[in-house]
Amino acid sequence: MTMMTPQPLDQQEDEEMLVPHSDLVEGPQPLVEGPQPMEVVPADNDNAGSVENQANEEPQASRHTWTIENFSRLNTKKMYSDIFTVGGYKWRVLIFPKGNNVDYLSMYLDVADSATLPYGWSRYAQFSLAVVNQMHSKLTVKKDTQHQFNQRESDWGFTSFMPLSELYDPNKGYLVNDTCVVEADVAVRKVVDYWAYDSKKETGYVGLKNQGATCYMNSLLQTLYHIPYFRKAVYHMPTTENDIPTGSIPLALQSLFYKLQYNDTSVATKELTKSFGWDTYDSFMQHDVQELNRVLCEKLEDKMKGTVVEGTIQKLFEGHHMNYIECINVDFKSTRKESFYDLQLDVKGCKDVYASFDKYVEVERLEGDNKYHAEEHGLQDAKKGVLFIDFPPVLQLQLKRFEYDFMRDTMVKINDRYEFPLELDLDRDNGKYLSPEADRSVRNLYTLHSVLVHSGGVHGGHYYAFIRPTLTDQWYKFDDERVTKEDVKRALEEQYGGEEELPQTNPGYNNTPFKFTKYSNAYMLVYIRVSDKDKIICDVDEKDIAEHLRIRLKKEQEEKEDKRRYKAQAHLYTIIKVARDEDLREQIGKDIYFDLVDHDKVRNFRIQKQMPFHLFKEEVAKELGIPVQFQRFWIWAKRQNHTYRPNRPLTAQEEAQTVGTLREVSNKAHNAELKLFLEVERGPDLQLVPPPEKIKEDILLFFKLYDPHKEELRYVGRLFVKSTGKPLEILTKLNELAGFAPDQEIELFEEIKFEPSVMCERLDKRASFRFSQIEDGDIICFQKRPPPETDEQVRFPDVPSYLEYVKNRQIVHFRALERPKEDEFCLELAKNHTYDDVVERVAQHLSLDDPSKIRLTPHNCYSQQPKPNPIKYRSVDHLIDMLVHYNQISDILYYEVLDIPLPELQCLKTLKVAFHHATKDEATILNIRLPKPSTVGDVLNEIKTKVELSHPNAELRLLEVFYHKIYKIFPTSEKIENINDQYWTLRAEEIPEEEKNLGQNDRLIHVYHFTKETAQNQVQVQNFGEPFFLVIHEGETLAEVKARIQKKLQVPDEEFSKWKFAFLSLGRPEYLEDSDVVSTRFQRRDVYGAWEQYLGLEHSDTTPKRSYNASQNRHTFEKPVKIYN
């Protein structure tokens, strides 16, 4: 299934330095070089989940070490390691040393011989990639994942492996002597070939087809379908034969469930998603299973109201709990009853489901500053908690595998080990989860029905389900189209998560075991109460299905079977396409302009290849009412100039052959159709007459008439002429065909070809047809001769100009770049219009005097977005070059109206600069536009004209800030052309007076804000906020420096008293006392990487975070699930 969405490249996974097996490792991202796949598993389901269980031997594992010298001087966008072999397969590592369109090292594992492997290949591997820290091995950055490699996804890994700023920093230890060491641990499992697998035959069940990114929905639908009570209720929802599945959720769900019950092959879900009101784009957005479950059940509950199955959703899934607050010292208790359809259980910090329930009912003490206001009793110590009044027959447990990490301001997936039992006893420990009013006669013992699994990372992945439909010991895995039998170990233990250890199988090299985080783990559990088992796992048969539904679906099945049979017997038949004068009249000037007919729109006959041709003619006589003696068939031929014309009549000998033989004579291509032109002649009284005898000298010509005033081309008929004759001799006949006066002067043109360009030439009326090289099937276009002098203007005065126009015309939809979803206006242009023609037409439409102020941006047909780079001034020759995207032609362009002409703008460099005022908090964002040869000094002078300075003679400087550290002060002489403002922040600020007059022993130091977080028992420093410079004087104590910092930052005393101060070098804090002399900690001379020695201000980060609401479990930055109908 797949992720498609498209994940913008700037949405990096905010992964800081990770030690091996860190629980902060997030999901892998596909290599993005073309249209990015949407999920981490392709739609044909050759994914890790679908085959990992088919391992038929222990995995083979090995480590490959790649040493890359002169790393910082590499000038290639990407590079591959040497090929290495694991498990009999060839692999290599692929890296992007400067990032794959991100500010991170990008690294992937690649199938080295993918280009030469046979169709349908796939292989599964667990692997880790690492950049070795050559100073401290504990700081090695290592990430692991798993993937099913196939033709569509032959490489897999991490687009945002580690920040380039860390990799290229010589003090960090990843580059030593400009050498980088990369390690790849790869473990391969052999897998069973699934191409011939038959789910129904092997398991008795069928799967659901994936529409692109709908495996999350498929796993939920299978789970719901296998709750027979729920399925029966869906069948009993009232629908009628007049309903359309795509417009009725109940009917679409009934249809889907019926097919799952009775089909022999996997079932499509398009009808259902259309009934949700989803378009294709929604089907390519990966959503949250839990959210879809809730929305779908709410929608069904609403649709069931007022029907015989009203209340089914509540009966199955609804439970109740009681929220209470109870005072400790006075007799006061507040309670509130609430219902739930599913329970969200914590995974982090809980070893199993019972631990999560313990946490759910944990009592919170309200005391101290947090006392409870108990009405007339005032503030009181109290205890607060939740207890359950009743549990539902079907208990849905949503495991909180995805959490929002406030420290890192991003979503993370919790891959910790988390156990769940086959039997769940919620009456344990004397009913500690139950409220006092709970009915203790109900036995809350549950048995596991299904396990929904998520495999992958935070920004996408694959879903599948383990289900035991009848609660026996036999489990089944439902993975989109495929259903396989599984054992209880695979359904339970292997979905607990945590780590898996694989033995090293390359003795003598490195015998440390491989540990892989298991990215496949349970995400939702469905339990059924044992006492309700017989009621819920009930029989559902045809009598539960409405008759109109049975009839409709059986008819669908028969039609499908007919199609299948049709395909199976196709090799016994030939399709004969018969074009007639009527088709030419109908199509020319409407559907087509060149050649004679679109063969896909003519009458076709499916005829057994063994039928003699004369019997086929009898079929035609019956179907078209044209007796056999009046039929003459011509065979079509493709000419060298790519036109397609009737070439010659069939001979009597050919007509005696079978249809199959004739087809092979006419077209050598396998399974090709037989295309014929049926010539039918009519006498003066329009009665059918036999075709005239054709001798060698006779030529069959076709005629089109052009009207320049109406800009209209139409077919008017065909004639036989003698090759020795001249066009002059047929002018009267042509006037008759056109309805003109007999003596009307007309001009004749031969339509010769139209690919790659139009060729239509004037025909000499006095030259013989043979001299003009006219032959059977040729097309003559004619029109009235225009009067010699006329004021009347027509756009296309003759046939060649009109055909040229038709060939090149192109409707283009223009959209304003800032509103890329809305068409603003359409223009009819020509594909061969020049760049200037196009911008002139746009400017004219916008009433703009200067077309050079128009800037156009092309359209990406895959992402349906503007391409990242606009079209440079006159950089393309023609409109068609603007519209082509790979092998597609778009009809969309985006426009901007610039304030200066585009040629001028292209000579300028635009920099986005944040100006920090000496006394104001808010930064001002400026767009500075200067000629490319300008310097930083010119930028600073320009800024002075745009901002308010603290005093007129203030001096400015320009800094490069990245991840809350100052990396560079730009020299005023530096050219701006190569300054990158896309990834780093450019900050301009006034230089404080104290920095201008530094004493001999004064120091200018970096001061950064930081917090600490612990991961894998290792403390990591996280910088935040605005970094700044500070002058420290010789002998100055921390207490004195603190006073100046507090004044500079204007922090209140109460807040400032909580701050800690530390000297940091290479990320390690050394805390300072008030009496410490600060200057002794800082080296006198400037060193490369000065930003890594700084005075750190440790305090909590109070800067506003990205707003985060909706389900706390939503794990992608996505639209919410909506069902519209």
Catalytic residues: 215, 462
Cβ partners under 8 Å of residue 618, min gap 6: 628
Q: Please provide the distance, in angstroms rounded to a whole number, between the alpha carbons at the two ends of the chain.
A: 25
The single residue listed with the structure tokens 């029109």 is 783
Neighbours of 625 (CB within 10 A): 8
The Cα 275–Cα 343 span in angstroms is 28
Closest CA to 101 of 167, 188, 160: 160
The Cα 1114–Cα 694 span in angstroms is 77
Task: Answer positive or negative: Cα dihedral of 727, 729, 734, 737.
Answer: negative
Task: Tell me the CA distances in angstroms from 880 to 593, 756, 886, 894, 895, one per residue in order.
Answer: 20, 13, 12, 15, 16
Give 886: exposed, middle or buried? Use CB within 10 Å, 0-12, 13-18, 19+. exposed
Give 925: exposed, middle or buried? Use CB within 10 Å, 0-12, 13-18, 19+. exposed
Strands 908-916 vs 985-990: parallel, antiparallel or unpaired? parallel
Tell how far CA 761 is from the center of its chain.
Answer: 49
Please spell the DSSP secondary structure of 656-685, one letter per residue.
TSBHHHHHHHH--STTPPEEEEEE-EE-TT
Contact, 1021 vs 1012, CB < 8 A? yes
- What are the two backbone dihedrals, phi and then psi, of residue 263, each rounded to the nearest 5 degrees? -75, 160
Neighbours of 913 (CB within 10 A): 22
Give 182: exposed, middle or buried? Use CB within 10 Å, 0-12, 13-18, 19+. buried
Closest CA to 48 of 142, 151, 122, 158: 122
Residue 341 tokens, joined? 């359809």
The Cα 303–Cα 970 span in angstroms is 66
Strands 84-86 vs 681-682: parallel, antiparallel or unpaired? unpaired
Closest CA to 895 of 810, 811, 812: 812
DSSP 713: E
The Cα 3–Cα 215 span in angstroms is 10
DSSP 580: -
The Cα 838–Cα 244 span in angstroms is 46
Cβ partners under 8 Å of residue 1087, min gap 6: 1093
Cis peptide leading into residue 627 (ω within 30°): no
> Within a 13 Å sphere around the CA of 1119, how many CA atoms are in the beta-carbon half?
11
- What are the two backbone dihedrals, phi and then psi, of residue 665, each rounded to the nearest 5 degrees? -65, -40
Cis peptide leading into residue 756 (ω within 30°): yes
Helix (H) or strand (E) holding 530, with range, is: none
Contact, 944 vs 975, CB < 8 A? no
The Cα 216–Cα 269 span in angstroms is 12
Closest CA to 521 of 605, 462, 578, 579: 462
Q: What 3-state class would DSSP assign to 793?
A: coil
